[in-house]
Every structure is written in C-alpha cells, then in structure tokens.
Amino acid sequence: MQSRQIYTSEPIEPGRRKMLMCVVLLGMFTLVGTSLTIPFYYETQSLWYKFGADKTLLRSGKMVGLLGAVLLCTQVVLAARVRILDRLVGLDRLLTLHRYNGLFLLLLGSVHLTLVLLPEGLDNLPIGKKYWPEMVGAAMLFLLSGLVAGAFARQLLGIKYTIWRKLHRPMGYLVFAMLAVHVLFVSESFARNAPGYGAYLLFGGVVVIVAGRKITTFWQNRRKGEIVVIEKLSENVTGITVKLPETRTFGYFPGQFAYLSIGSGHQAEPHPFTIASSPTDHTSLQFMIKSSGDWTGKVRSFRVGEIVSVDGPYGLFSYLARTRSQDILLIAGGIGITPLLSMLRFMSVNPVREHVTLIWCLSHSGDMFLGDELENLQKMIPNLAVHHVYTRAKHGSRRLDMDKIASLTSGCGRDARIFLCGPGPMMVRAMEDCLALGFVRKNIHYERFSL
C-alpha cells in the first residue's frame, strides 16, 4: 500500500517570485496595450462615418470596453484559485484584488456605455432584434451591477454566505459568457482576422484555466479525509483534526490555509481556515475554528468520522516565504493565533536563528486555550518570548497600543519581520503603531480572516 506523506512544501524564493511577477505583469500590460490598438488598426464601419469629437468619443468608448473585457477575463482567473498565482501573490490578496477589480469593471462598463451612446444620441439607441449583441452587452452590465452590489453589500442586505456564493459564481460565469458573445458579434473588428483569433484564444484560455482547476479540485476531493477529533478549546473555539487518506500527499508550509468542505448539502460549501498544525505532523491536519457565523456556529454539531474535503494549501503568510532577518515578531488577535501557532510548532522541530517574539491579544484570561502548549514551546524554542495582552481585563491596558508594543519589543531590531493576524481594526492599529515605532513597512505581513 502506498504510504501517505504530509511534508513541508517549499515556497518560491522571494527574489524569484518578484521576477516571475514582473513576467506576469509584463504579459498583462502587453495584452492590454495590444487590445487598445484594435480601434485604430481595425476600425468598424461605425467609425467610418464619425468625425471630430464624435469619432474620438466612440473610439475612446471602444478602448474602454476592450480594457474592461481584458480585466473581466482576468477577474475570472483571479477567483479560480490558480496555484501558480497563489504561490506568487497569495490567494487572500488575489481575492481582495478580485473584489475591487469588480468595482472597477462596473465603472469601466458604465463609461463604455456612455461613450459609445453619446455620438449616436438618444434617437438612435441600439434597441431591437438587429442590435442583439448590443443588448447582450447592456444585460451583461446590468448583471455585473448586481454582482458587485451583492459582493459589497451582502452583510448589509442580510444575505447568507451560502446563498450568496451559490448565486455569485454561476452569475459570474454567465457574465463572462455574455462578454464573449458581445465582443465577438458586436462589430466586424472581431471577424475572421487577428483580433478575432486573439479574442477566441483569450476566452478559450480562460475556459481552459477554469476547467482545468475544477478538474484538479474534483480529482483531489475524490480522496476525502475524515474527522478524527472534535474538541472544545474555549467557549467559542473548536478544534477539528482531519486525517487524510493514505493515498494522498498534502505538502504545505506553516501559516498556510485550506478550504474545508464537511458533510453534504449547504454545509458542504467550502470555507477557508488556517492549518494550525505543523507540516512535520505526518498524521493529520488540525484546524481551530471560532464560532462567528452560520456555518462556524454549527461546527460542534459535526461528528467524528464525518467526511471532509480539503482544498489547498494556499497563502504566503509564512516566515519561510520571506527573506530572513535577525528578529521575527508575531502579533495575533484572538483566533488569529492559528497561523502563528503553526509557525511556532514548526520552529520547535526546525530551530531558527532569529529571536522570536509572540504577542497574543485576548479579551479575557478565560479565552486562553493554549497556555500549556505555549509554555512547552518556550522550552523547545529557547529564543522565543511569549506575551499575553488581555484587552478587557479589569486591570491594565484595554488594548494593544503603541506604548505596549514598544515595551514588549524593546529587544527587537526595527528590521524585524512582522506577521499580523487578527480582526481588521486590530491589525490596522497594530500596523500603524509598528510603523510609528520605526519598523519597516515592507517587512510587515498580514493575513485577513474574511476572503
């Protein structure tokens, strides 16, 4: 029988990662620049009969539309969890870019519509069977508006994540399909010529990337794991240990996260959680999940033996993925301890030369659920200092402020690598305080809870 191996994956060396990112960006700029030349070298008949300001407006509108088309294709790829892009940028940042790129796409679509309609006037709106490609484009913009509104106002509108996700992804694919139809049929610029062949290659390439990623995920998820331990770590934190099948390897480095799908039905929707265990643990993966929503609130209702699909690993939130320094500063808020715990567990077996400082912020001493393990880790990592900050204690500071950080990091060099993980406001304050204390901005790394 083939034995299962859980091993430490090697991140791409930072210098090589920057070089590869430059190649990706160069390719992206080349694609955008080439597409913007199409209205000049492959004029449509509508441009032949326009002069002066009208021609400039129409050509500008077509250029804006082509920019939007390229970025919408990029939008689909950003959300596809493409491994090489994750290794270069980190999936959390790719999804953040996906979110704000959607807003920019809506702006581009609106500008495109305005610029192409202005030269025609309200009396010549492209409505009717003859103008079906234009109407597909208008419908696409309307659907895109709904997607962007749902993404930014989901919580305000009270839409549950499971419902939103089931609607958002297929609607996104529909918008992409409508874009392809609109671009290929709206004008003769994309007839049987270089732009047309290029458009087919672009749209076909996106389809191949997404289909390939889905096939890979489906193949991996055929080899499912199972829950072997469910334990109550604190009042609102639950530990889940997952054993993977013997035929599956799962290489990751400390600090990465994975998507978990447990059970069936709506609760099988994938959710991202940091892997709290060390890659040196050759038997299982451990996750620590805080009850903070509909799905996470039901974690303790899961049963030992329940089937689990694990998709990952993802992310670059690890000291192994960064250049070395003399000091490592780890700052966590609440459940944000999980990626930092994975790093410390790995360091206990693979010693580091850097001095390591951990600052863990909790509301009350009763929220502490790793006291004994952190004491043991201090014994195993001689150069580790651990500090707890209770923000709602009856005595002492109510939050981690600049003075507190200064006193706890007096021995840290200002070129230290800093890793922040916790609630958004806490990370923003901690980053501002670290910068005010003289720490280097490029050495501060953070990971968001919500993707």
| Pair (33, 170) in one structural domain | yes
| Pair (210, 257) in one structural domain | no
Q: Residue 4: inside a domain, yes or no? A: no
| Pair (346, 280) in one structural domain | no
Question: How far are the Cα atoms of 86, 214, 289, 344, 425 from residue 237, in angstroms, in the given order?
Answer: 28, 32, 6, 19, 21
β-strand partners of 259: 272, 311
Domain that residue 57 falls in = 14-219
| Pair (25, 167) in one structural domain | yes
Radius of gyration from C-alpha coordinates of the chain: 26
Residue 384 makes CB contacts below 8 A (sequence gap 6+) with 344, 347, 356, 357, 358, 377, 378
Distance CA 214, CA 313 (A): 15
Can you give the CATH number for the domain in which 115 is found? 1.20.120
Can you give the CATH number for the domain in which 385 is found? 3.40.50.80
User: Residue written as tokens 């459940």?
Assistant: 335
| Pair (374, 429) in one structural domain | yes
Q: Residue 2: inside a domain, yes or no? A: no
Using alpha carbons, select from 281, 215, 272 the residue that is nearest to residue 252. 281
Q: What is the DSSP string of 114-157?
A: HHHHTTT-GGG---SGGGHHHHHHHHHHHHHHHHHHHHHHHHHH
| Pair (69, 192) in one structural domain | yes
| Pair (71, 209) in one structural domain | yes
Domain count, the chain: 3
| Pair (83, 204) in one structural domain | yes
> Which of residues 219, 238, 266 is at a domain's end?
219
Residue 280 makes CB contacts below 8 A (sequence gap 6+) with 8, 345, 346, 349, 350
pTM of the model: 0.85
Phi, psi for 259 (deg, rounded to 5): -95, 130
> Which of residues 219, 247, 272 is at a domain's end?
219
β-strand partners of 225: 308
| Pair (98, 120) in one structural domain | yes
pLDDT in tens, 63-103: 999 999 999 999 999 999 999 999 999 998 999 999 999 99
Per-residue tens of pLDDT for the chain, all 451 residues: 333 444 456 788 888 999 999 999 999 999 999 999 999 988 888 888 888 888 899 899 999 999 999 999 999 999 999 999 999 999 989 999 999 999 999 999 999 999 999 888 777 778 888 889 999 999 999 999 999 998 888 878 777 777 888 889 999 999 999 999 999 998 888 887 889 999 999 999 999 999 999 898 887 766 688 899 999 888 889 999 999 887 667 888 899 999 988 876 556 778 899 999 999 877 789 999 988 777 788 888 888 988 888 888 999 999 998 888 889 999 999 899 999 999 999 999 988 888 999 999 988 877 888 888 999 999 999 899 999 888 876 665 567 889 899 999 988 888 999 999 988 888 999 999 999 999 999 999 987 755 4
Q: Residue 242: inside a domain, yes or no? A: yes
Phi, psi for 308 (deg, rounded to 5): -135, 135
| Pair (323, 309) in one structural domain | no
| Pair (67, 190) in one structural domain | yes
